[in-house]
Structures are given as structure tokens and as C-alpha cells.
Amino acid sequence: MSEEKKQNGWNPKIAAFLCNWCTYTGADLAGVSRLKSSPCVRIIRVMCSGRVDPSFILKAFKKGADGIFIGGCHIGDCHYSEGNYKTLRRIEFLKIFLEDFGIDPKRLRLEWISASEGDKYAATTLDFEKQIRELGPLTFMN
Amino acid sequence: MAYRTYLMVCAGTGCVANQSIKIKDTLIKELEKKGLQDEVAVVTTGCNGFCGVGPIMVVQPDGIFYQLLKSSDIPYLVEEHLIKGRPVKKFMYIPSEKEPPIPKMSDIDFFKKQVLIALRNRGLIDPEKIEEYIARGGYSGLAKALTEMTPDQVINEVKKSGLRGRGGGGFPTGIKWETMKKVPGDVRFVICNADEGDPGAFMDRSIIESDPHAVIEGMLIGAYGMGSTQGYVYIRNEYPIALERLLKAIAQAKEYGLLGENIFGTDFKFDIRIIRGAGAFVCGESTALMASIQGMPGEPRAKYVHTVEKGLFDFPTCLNNVETWANVPQIIQKGAEWFTQIGTGDVTNDPWGGSKGTKVFSLTGKVVNTGLVEVPMGITLREIIYDIGGGIKDGKKIKAVQTGGPSGGFIPESMLDLPVDFDELTKVGSMMGSGGMIIADEDNCIVDMAKYFLNFTQEESCGKCIPCREGTKRMYDILENISVGKGTEEDLELLEDLSYMVVESSLCALGGSAPNPVLTSLKYFKDEYLTHVREKKCPAKACRQLNVYTIDEEICATVGHGCDLCKKSCPDFAIFGETKKAHHIDQMKCHKCGACYDACNFKAIKVE
Amino acid sequence: MERSIRMVTVNIDGKKIEVAEDTTILKAAEAAGIWIPSMCYSDLLEPYGVCRLCSVEVIRGKRSRIVTACNYPVREGLTVNTNSDKVKWIRKILMELMYSRWPNVPVVKEMAERLEVTKPRFVSLERDESENACILCGNCVNICRDVVKASVLSFEGIGIERKVVLPFNEQSETCISCGACAYVCPTGHIKIKSLETERGALQDFYLGPKSAINIPTLQAVPRVPVIDKNSCIKMQTGGCGICSEFCEPGAINYEMKDEEVDIEVGQILVTTGFNLFDPQQIPQYGYGRLDNVYNSLDFEFMLNSTGPTGGTIQCKDGSEPRAVGIIHCVGSRDENYKKYCSRVCCMYALKFAHLVKDRTKAEVYQFYIDMRAFGKGYEEFYKRLLDEGVNMIRGKVAEITEESYNGNKPHLLVKCEDTLIGKFREIPVDMVILCPAIEPAQDAAKIKKILSISQSPDKFFLERHPKLDPISTMTDGIFIAGCAQGPKDIPDSVAQASAAAARILSLISLGEVSVDPIKANVIEEFCSGCRICNNLCPYTAISFLEDKKISDINEMLCKGCGTCVAACPASAITGKGFTDEQILAELEGLLTV
């Protein structure tokens, strides 16, 4: 089935959890600057990247996401002081589990993008889309 | 145990320095050898006073006086006098070469006119045995005071006696004690000033060496009168024998219950501490002395508030000289009335009205008999110099008498009939001082002597106040210039002006009296100064820089035979001449040190 | 034992005056308006009475006596003549003695003139020609022993050899450097050497130490003196205490200690200011090593009329500089130190240039990278300086060295690049002023931790929004203003502070505040009391309730970041506005299409 999808002009579904203060604003900036970013990225705004519960990521994969992108403030610059440290911990940890679940950890990406880095956001999303395309659609045993 | 004879060997510092202890040891050995140790006692006593003829030994009870002894003389003396009963003539006192020897001490002129109060026990007791002091009536004055008199009566007795400070100030002792008594406060001190800094003065030393208990008893009586329980003796460190005897005396007095608690069974308690000086003349000044005891530098302070009000550690303190304290026991014992019989003036209504009692003088200089004498106040200078002192040595002419040490002044020959007492001497510009008396003859230069005394006070100045520190130094510089021929008549005026200023404005009596020798010498011997500044010559030839030394070549060749002694002694290599031939002095090189003059045995060197 | 003070009448020079018994003649004469000369007297000390210049004649009955006025206590009926011929004669000779020994000391010369002594008749073999000679008045020894109670100085030598010494002629360990001896010395013989800085620092300009009790600056608020514990004699040795004797209201309290006060507040405004970058970190500029290299604060101090030089611009040796170099951007705009621009330096550097031109005849060289004259009237001021002939050199300074040509006194050499003419230049100057970067205050990190506010990458406090909210922090109720937030000059600081104050006042006047609704809260039934969330909160908003054995969130502290929500293993915490359900629903929506 994944092969079919690929051949039938499949577009990856990338769910993105963006932290309100930095990455979300950065994405906004990218848009305002008319920078080309990936259309496959579907954004969910959270106040802080630390809000992202690992269960969301798993549920998202289960619901059909091919890749998950988490964007937060740079380390040391978290709006809420330390939230992104926790995100870092969780995601690193989660990546280990993902493999056990049969999901390629490369499908989960954590980036630090600040509010002024619109270009980085654009570039990162495009790069991620390319990567997911290479990896192909995610197949789960339903 | 009674001995048949007592050999009183003088152990004053002078005689000790001349081996009198060795003489004593030799005596003891010799007596033992001859088996006389149970019959003849050897007693070391304090200074007899006739220091010019020491070592001295007096044989008691005969009163035979032996002088100039050597330990080698002892065996002969023991053999002759003690065994064979023949006093040895060659050891006796001879007034002059032609006269016969005088065996008995009481016949010797030196001793005849002396009246001993402070020194009453000299030569008669062993100062290191309290029993001997007590045996001669010691501590009975204290007993009388403690048991029969009130403190106020004691003070009154001293006041009535007219006793005046023997340290030089001449302040009526009774008044001082009375003033101290009136100052309130439980803590009060009495101090004995045994610092005796005058050069050549040894009165206080002799008193302590001969009779330390006299001082202790005096202090006890005074302390009782003034209500003090602690006394200090400030003694100069240069008196080791005196210090030793004093320490022993205090220890013995304590043993006998005469120092410490409950003296004579009364409530009176008193203790004495000894503080040693460290070699500063200025520490003889009362406030400097007290500063020294307190551990501070010995510098005087203004005495507008007297030490009897605020003295040692800011407590009322009565400071008196050794000789003053030594007089007190006798005054109490024999009564003030007795004391007033001796001396000059009338003190019934005015304590300053006369000088009562005796004074110890150290008679030195160009007299025949030098030593320590105690004479009644009122005796004339002439009597002291000629009757006691035996006149001027070598038949020279007397020029002046210097009394009072560095604080005193010169008295010319014309005033020799002056009675010696506090006020008479002050009237002529000198002062009694602590008792130094130096006789100057025609070979002494007054300018040089004044310079000597000024040098002393200038060097001993503590340096605190400007008049003394700078003033005396400038005075000395002027005198120095005068003595090397650089003085002018303006310098004499300046010297006088400066001297009066230093007297008026100095902080303490050291500075205040330092110019006295200069002022009196200028007053009475102006002509000597004028010769120095006008003719650039010293009449006495003592200021060597003004002398011209020449060699009488005839004498040198014929009598001295060119002996070379002067050439060898000259530090400037200024004498030329071949051995066995007449020598001569190169005046260009000669720095007038006079070494050649001193060296020549043939009187070939002439001085002009 | 108390003695009541008795008043006595004394007769001084014919004037009758009533004074307390035991007053000294000197003081009594002072009260009568009569001057008595003295050289060794000081009001701070017990009279020493060694110069003897104050000698007066005291007449009692028929006898007269010369005494020193400074320490002679008066009694009833005392008659004093302070100017008799005898007294004049004594003073004249005393003065001649002093003058011949110390002919060039100003106080001696003045007194000699006053006492009409022109040529002393003496030649002193101990003559000292120096102007600062010690005249052996003893003031220093006495103050050190009696007032300071340190007993460091003392006299040595007897008689004419007398002199004041330190023990063994070495620096003394017991000396507390109070400067009392230098203060009381009439000739300036004693100087206090500052051991802290050997070269370059302005302490060397002080002729004497600042007193231990002083008003820190003239603009201090409140304008009351403070006591410096380390230089106060009373706090060091227990001596002195003179200030409390002079204080009439008795306001001096040596026992005062720091107090800790707890105040409950609703809002905090942080204005902890800035620090100046230490130019010693750039050793090639020679600050702290070479003479006459100052930083801007040092130079401000020198310019100030209440400063050590009274506003005169002078080199360390007192001479006027012939040329001054002012260097911009020391530490600012620098890859190695601070990357940002410190904003204020260009303008104050131009101000310095103007003042140097105004007060001296020196040439001024301005070494800059860009001239930032952004404010109102700023550019015009810059232009004015160009007209005044200030030399503007665009380029960074590589090094400052000390040179000396032909044996002349050394000067500084500024080695720089002049990018406008494309050459390297070496410019000799007498003085260099560095404009160091403005950096956050030293305790910024500590404040950050205490208040839980953030720092931006340059370590100044982080504002909520750089454009739209520069006065608030992420934490509600904590505001920042001034250089704590970033380098700025006075108009901007005032504006920002006013804005912050206004914001605060508006909140206070509201009474009620509306808060951001995005908050987390704990669902009691689900909470198992594992306390994982307690330590996660950066705002310490989560506490543990012992009685209920559950965690509890303080809604006022919570900022709604959601970290605890994600961490709770029992999903017992909900984040309002971003609940799990909401996010999952979003996911659902996003991914099904």
C-alpha cells in the first residue's frame, strides 16, 4: 500500500508542535517574509515545547502522521526558563522507544528555532519533507 | 661573742675597686693562720669618706686609721699591730711629707670638722647586717613614730626641724609632706630618688652602701606620716654594690617584720620596690623619674600640677632624695629641736628661713684630701677647702669652687668665706645642688669647665622642649668656637642672652639649670672669656687649640737627649728631629692636641 | 567624685575674664580674644608644652614667673601678662632657634614673620632646608598614642638627636592607616601612601585620606554620612570616637548593623543598572598598568568640581596634558568581548572631547568605529566638535604604550589604524580615556535566580517583547527598566522607568488584575502524590499539600507553559486552553485530511 501511495503522488503528513514564543513566531515570520516552506507541515501551537507529551507523538503516528516535527526555543532561551530542556530529554528518550515500536527515529525531529529565524524554519521544514519523502509513508500494523 | 678588736675594712665602691675585698679575705686568712679568729673580727663597712687614701681600715675600739693598704701589707700589719700591739706608722695618715703620722681617725683634720647625721653609721657597721644597724639605735625612730606619734605629729616634727630637700631643690620637706597629706585618695606613693646623675657625685651612693637601713627607715616614717603603703627606690643601674646592699637590707627588714604587714604590731603596712635606672641623667628629675617607673620614656612634664597631687600613675606621690630620707630617722628619734641646733637661719616661723642640719658633699678637684664629707650647714667654703680638704694640691693658687654639679655655678676665690647653705649659694648665682664640690686651681680654665658641664647637660637633654634641646646645643657650639679661637665678643653677648632664655623657658629643671655654670662663669670670670675671644689665648692653657706648643731645644738636647717620646706620641707626625738630638715641632702640622706635652718627662715642651 | 565647675576671674593683659577653674591660660586668652603664639598645640590633644612659644608671665603678688600658657591651669585672681618685654624676648630667641634650624618650613616662616624675626643670630649645625621638615612638635606621636590608641609612632634619640620614627624604620603592622598623624602634622612631613594602586588610579591624587565618616557623594540620598568599617579607628582599635563628641544630636551609633527587612509586595521593578567593562581585560590598552590611562568613570570623577582635582584636567604628575586620546568601543562591538553596541559611549566620549578642548589647550584625538549620534541634538553636537578641531580617527586602536623621547618625561603612544586614509598611525598623547562597554550588573545572575526572570543572550534581563513590551518580563508583576534591560542613555532610561512605574501604578489602581487564563491545575482525584511535577516548575508554582497528599498549583505563579501537564504520569494536571483532549482533537483534525 505504501508503494501505491508513493506512486500515486503521495504527500507526506507532517505534524508539527511549535512553541508559541519562538518557533511559531518564526514560522509566522517565514510566512510574512514570503519564504517557501513545506506545505506538508501541519502546525499545532503549544505554549511551550515542554507541553508536548510523548503520548501525543505516538498518537499522531498512529493517526497517520508520517513525520513529527517539534520546534522550540534555543536552549537557554526558553520563554519559560527550562521547558525546552525537558523537551530535549523526552524526545531523546522517545527516539529510543520509537525504534522498538518499528518507527524510524528519523521521523521525529526536534529543532530549536527562534522567532527571528524564519529562514531556518523554512529550510528545516523543506529538508524534513525531503527526508520523509525518502523514508516513504509510515506503515503500521493496524 | 665579744671580740677584743674589730677591723673595719672600708668596702665602699672606691675601696672595693682598689681590692679592699681582697684585703679583707687576706686578713681573715692571716688571722686564722695566727689563731686570732676568735679575738679579732673583720667587718666590711660602708664608705668612710676619705676616698683619696683608700683602701682604708680602721681598728676599733682604738680608732686607729690605716690608709692606702695593699693585701701584701696585711701579714706585717697583723703581726705588728694585733699580736705585738704596735700600730704601724707607715700605714697611717700623714698630712704632708714633713709632718708626723696621725694614728687616730678622730684627730685627722679631714674628719674633725665633720658632723655625721646621714652618714652616722659609716665605717662603723656592716651594712649587710641589720642587727648592727639596730644595735646603733636603728629603727627606734620608726618605733617611736608608730607607737607614740600620730601621722600628723610626724609630719609636724619634720616640718619643725626645717629639713630641706637634699637632692638640690632645697624645698622644705615638711611642707611637701603636709601638702601631700592633704590630697585625698587611698593610693599614694613615696619614692626615694637614688638616680644621682651628677658627674662625680657619690653622696647617695655612699649613704646606701654604708647604711641602707637609714633610707628604709626614713621612707617608713614618711610613709606612715603621709599614709602611703607602697614605696619605690629608683636607683641608677651604675651602682651595683649599692643595689645589692639595698636588696639585702630590704630582705632583712622584711624578715624582721619591719617591712610588709603589721609593722611593729600596728595596722601600718609598707613595702618597697626597687626600680633600676637605665643611664639617663634626666631621669633624676622627678616627673621623668615617675614616667620611667611607669615604663614610658623618661621625659619630664610640666609641674604646674605638683606630683604630690598627681604623680606616679596619676596618684599623689612624694619624692625625696636619699640623703633627705636618711636624715628623717634621727629627726624623729632625737627631735626637731636637736636638728635645728645645727645649721643656719631660723625656721620657727618660716620653713624657708634657714638651712638646718648637715649636708654631704663630695669634695673633689685640686684639693689635697678628696672624698665624701658631711658638714653642718653654715660652715664656710674656706673651712671645707682648707681645714677639711687640706688646701690646694701642689701649692697652687685656688681659682674657683664649683658647687652643684652641672646645675650649679662657680664661686670665685673672693667669696670663699661664704657660709654654705641653700640661700647663700643661690644668692651668688650658684646652688647647693646635690652636693658636688669641685675645686679649681690656676691650671683649670673656667671656660673649659663651663664647656664640660654644658656638654654634659646638652648630651643628657631629653630633647622634648626647644630651649633645652636647641638652646643648650647652640650654647655649646658657641663655647666650642670660643675654646678653639673662633669666638667673638658678640658671641659672649649672645651666649648670655641665650642662657637667660633657656633658664626662663625650659620645661624642667635640667634645662632650667643647665646654663648656670655658663652664667656664673661669665659673671665672675669674664676676663677669662675676654682673653679667649680677644687674644685667642687660654690663660690656663687648658684650651689646647689656643696653645702654641714649642720645644725648648736646649732642654731637649741636654736633659732629654732627644728621647723621641714626643715624636712617637704625635698623631699628626708634626715633630721632627733625629734621635739624641733636639726635636722641633712643625706648627703647620700641629693640631695642638698636647699629647707631646703630656708625654715629655723633661718639661722640654713649652706652651704659650 | 564629682566636682562642680567653679568659675574664676582672671586678669589677662588687663582684661578681666571669667572662665571655669582649671581652664588653661591659652584657652582663657582665646576667650578674651587675645592671641598667644604656639607651634605644638592642637585642640585634639592634651597640651604637650614643648615649643615654649606660648610662654607668658604669671604674676602672683611680688613674684612673677614664666609659664607655658597651653597647660597652666588658671586659679582665682591670677594675673597674666601675655606680651611683656620679657615674654617678647623669650619668644624672639625661641623663634630664632627654630628659624635657624628649619628655615623653609611654612609654619615656621609665618610665625617668624609674625614675631618679627628676620635673621636668626644662630647657625644651626642641624639645619634642615626642606619645606616639610619635622619640627618635633610631637603631635603625630601623641595623636597616635592617645586618640587612635594604636601607638605606632614614637620618638627616638635623646636631646638634639630626637626624631620621630616608625618601629625599626619599617612599615608597621599595627598602623591602621587612619591618617590621623598626617592630618595633625603642621608641616606635611608625614604622608600617607596608598598601597592599593601604585599607578594610574586616582587615589594618588589624594593629598590625605578621606575621613572614615563621610557623605559618599554630594548627591547621595539620604544625604547623611556613613562610617567605613575598615578605616574607622573606633571600630578598629576602640580609640578616637571624636565624631560622636562633635555630634550634637548624638546621632552616631557605632553598633549599627545590617538589618534584614521582610516586605510584602505585589510588584517588583528591577533597575539594578550596569557595570562598566573592566578594560584590564584588554591588557594592550594599559589600563591599571600605565599612568594616565583612565576609563570614562575615572575621567568623569576628575572632571567633577567636587572631585580630587577640583575639575582640573591634569596628568598624574600635575601637569596639563598636551594631547588626549579618547578611545571608543573598548570591549563593545567586539567579537572577543561584547558583541553589542553600548549605545551611550559615543556621545559621552564627544562630551569629554568638548570639555578637554574647553578646559585645556590639549589636542584631542577621537578613535571610533562608527559615530552613533542617534538622539535629539546629538548629530549637531558631533558636527560642533568637528568645528572645534577634534581629530576624528576612524579605526580600532591596537595598542597603547609608554614612550619617552630624548630623555623627556614619558608619554603615551596610541597605535591605531586610520581606515579613512588607509594608514597605520602612532599618535603621542599625554592621557588616554577609554570608553568601556556597558555590561550587566555583577549580581544580575543572582537576581535572575531569585526572581525567576530570564536573561537575553547578552545577559541583560529579557523583556517580554523587544518592541511592544520592553518593560515587562515574562513573569507577571516583575518589571525591568534602565540599563538592567540593556544599555541606554538617560532620556531613554527615564522614559522606560516612567513607563514601568505607570504600568505598575495602573495595576495597583486596578485593584483586581486580570491574568492570562492559560494556567495548569491539579485534578485532585487523579493525583497520586508522586511529586514528579513539583520540581519541574520553573516558577515554583507547584507545592505539595501534606494533609491531602496531593500536589497543588498556585494559579498566580503559574505561567501556563504546560511542562507539568506533559510530565504527569497520571494525567492529573490539566492545562487550560491546551488540554490533552484539545491537542489530540487538533491532531485528529490535522491528520485525517
Question: E strands of C319-447, at which residues?
Answer: 323-330, 363-368, 391-394, 397-403, 411-418, 423-429, 431-436, 438-440
Q: Residue A16 falls within a domain, yes or no?
A: yes
> In angstroms, rounded to a whole number, what is the distance separating the alpha carbons of residues B121 and C590?
134
Q: Given pLDDT bands bounded at 50, 70 and 90, which one contains residue B237?
A: very high
> In angstroms, rounded to a whole number, what is the distance separating the alpha carbons of residues B401 and B438?
6
Higher pLDDT, C498 or B564: C498
CATH number assigned to the domain comprising residue A32: 3.40.50.960
Asked if B touches A (at least 3 Cβ pairs < 8 angstroms), the answer reads no
Q: Give C-chain residues touching A63 at CB under 8 angstroms.
A: 587-588, 591-592
Sign for the CA dihedral angle at B238, B244, B249, B252 comes to positive
Q: Which three cell numbers stand for residue B79?
A: 703581726
pLDDT at C197: 38
Mean pLDDT of B74-92: 91
Q: Residue A19 falls within a domain, yes or no?
A: yes
Neighbours of B9 (CB within 10 A): 26
The whole domain housing A73 covers 12-135
Whole-angstrom distance between the N-terminal and C-terminal Cα of chain A? 13
Q: Residue A55 falls within a domain, yes or no?
A: yes
C529 within 8 A of C549, measured Cβ to Cβ? yes
Q: Are β-strands C274-276 and C438-440 bridged in parallel, bridged antiparallel, or unpaired?
A: antiparallel
- Whether residues C162 and B469 touch (CB distance < 8 A) is answered with yes
> In angstroms, rounded to a whole number, what is the distance separating the alpha carbons of residues C452 and C475?
8
Neighbours of C279 (CB within 10 A): 22
Q: Residue A88 falls within a domain, yes or no?
A: yes
Q: Kindly report, residue by residue over B464-520, the tens digit of the pLDDT.
A: 999 999 999 999 999 999 999 899 999 999 999 999 999 999 999 899 999 999 999
Q: Is the peptide bond before A54 cis (omega within 30 degrees of 0)?
A: no
Mean pLDDT of C229-256: 83
Dihedrals phi, psi of C472, to nearest 5 degrees: -100, 160
| Residue of C93, C115, C156 to mutate, testing the B interface (most B Cβ within 10 Å of its Cβ) | C93
What is this model's ipTM?
Answer: 0.88
- Say how many domains are in chain A: 1
Position B64 pLDDT exceeds 60: yes
C68 within 8 A of C61, measured Cβ to Cβ? no
Neighbours of C182 (CB within 10 A): 17
| Residue of C462, C474, C590, C592 to mutate, testing the A interface (most A Cβ within 10 Å of its Cβ) | C590
Q: Give C-chain residues touching A80 at CB under 8 angstroms.
A: 474, 538-539, 559, 561, 563
Q: What angle do CA C483, C218, C328 make, to 5 degrees?
A: 40
Position C199 pLDDT exceeds 50: no
- Candidate from A48, A63, A65 with C-beta closest to C563: A48
> In angstroms, rounded to a whole number, what is the distance separating the alpha carbons of residues B232 and B292?
12
For cell 632650667, what's the residue? B512
Higher pLDDT, B85 or C538: B85
Question: E strands of C409-541, at which residues?
Answer: 411-418, 423-429, 431-436, 438-440, 478-480, 520-522
Q: What angle do CA B603, B607, B608 make, to 5 degrees?
A: 150
pLDDT at B561: 84
Longest dimension (CA), chain C: 132
Neighbours of C162 (CB within 10 A): 18
Neighbours of B469 (CB within 10 A): 27
* Best CA proximity match to B184, nearest among B229, B225, B227, B231: B227
C435 within 8 A of C330, measured Cβ to Cβ? yes
Beta bridge partners of B65: B58
- In whole numbers, what is the pLDDT of chain C averaged over residues? 88
C220 Cβ partners below 8 Å, 6+ apart?
Answer: none
> In angstroms, rounded to a whole number, what is the distance separating the alpha carbons of residues A129 and A11?
9
The full set of domains in chain C, from first to last, is: 7-114 (3.10.20.740), 138-254 (no CATH), 276-439 (3.50.50.60), 440-510 (no CATH), 520-592 (3.30.70.20)
> In angstroms, rounded to a whole number, what is the distance separating the alpha carbons of residues B402 and B371?
15
> In angstroms, rounded to a whole number, what is the distance separating the alpha carbons of residues B395 and B441?
10
Q: Residue A142 falls within a domain, yes or no?
A: no
Beta bridge partners of C455: C461
> In angstroms, rounded to a whole number, what is the distance separating the alpha carbons of residues B392 and B438?
12
- Whether residues C125 and B507 touch (CB distance < 8 A) is answered with no
B223 within 8 A of B233, measured Cβ to Cβ? no
Position B248 pLDDT exceeds 50: yes
The SS3 call for residue C99 is helix
The full set of domains in chain B, from first to last, is: 5-112 (3.40.30.10), 130-340 (3.40.50.11540), 358-444 (3.10.20.600), 447-535 (1.20.1440.230), 547-607 (3.30.70.20)
Q: Kindly report, residue by residue over B338-378, the tens digit of the pLDDT.
A: 999 999 999 888 989 899 999 999 999 999 999 999 999 99
Q: What pTM does this model have?
A: 0.70
> In angstroms, rounded to a whole number, what is the distance separating the alpha carbons of residues B540 and B114?
33
> In angstroms, rounded to a whole number, what is the distance separating the alpha carbons of residues B542 and B537?
10
C82 Cβ partners below 8 Å, 6+ apart?
Answer: C12, C13, C25, C29, C34, C36, C56, C57, C69
Q: Give A-chain residues touching C563 at CB under 8 angstroms.
A: 48, 50-51, 80, 82-83, 86
B46 within 8 A of B121, measured Cβ to Cβ? yes
Query: How many angstroms separate the Cα of B241 from the Cα of each of B14, B248, B347, B437, C489?
Result: 11, 11, 37, 24, 88
Q: Which three cell numbers stand for residue B568?
A: 712617637
Sheet with C397-403: list strands edge to edge: C397-403, C411-418, C423-429
For cell 604590731, what's the residue? B265
- Candidate from A51, A77, A79 with C-beta closest to C578: A51
Q: Kindly report, residue by residue over B311-337, the tens digit of the pLDDT.
A: 999 999 999 999 999 999 999 999 999
A127 within 8 A of A43, measured Cβ to Cβ? no
Q: Which three cell numbers stand for residue B111?
A: 674628719
Q: What is the DSSP letter of B59?
A: E
Q: Which three cell numbers stand for residue A38?
A: 513545506
Q: Give A-chain residues touching C561 at CB under 8 angstroms.
A: 47-48, 50-51, 79-80, 83
Q: Give A-chain residues touching C569 at CB under 8 angstroms.
A: none
- Candidate from C52, C71, C124 with C-beta closest to B505: C52
pLDDT at C209: 44
Dihedrals phi, psi of B478, to nearest 5 degrees: -65, -45
Position B225 pLDDT exceeds 90: yes
- Whether residues B459 and C122 touch (CB distance < 8 A) is answered with no
Query: How many angstroms separate the Cα of B451 from the Cα of each of B435, B448, B467?
Result: 20, 5, 17
Q: What angle do CA B495, B496, B500 make, to 5 degrees?
A: 115
Q: Residue A29 falls within a domain, yes or no?
A: yes
Which runs of consecutive H residues, i.e. helices, occur in B470-564? Answer: 472-483, 489-505, 509-513, 516-524, 526-530, 553-555
Q: What percent of chain C is predicted at pLDDT more than 70?
A: 95
Q: Given pLDDT bands bounded at 50, 70 and 90, which one contains residue A33?
A: confident
- Whether residues B477 and C125 touch (CB distance < 8 A) is answered with yes
- Candidate from C100, C122, C158 with C-beta closest to B462: C158
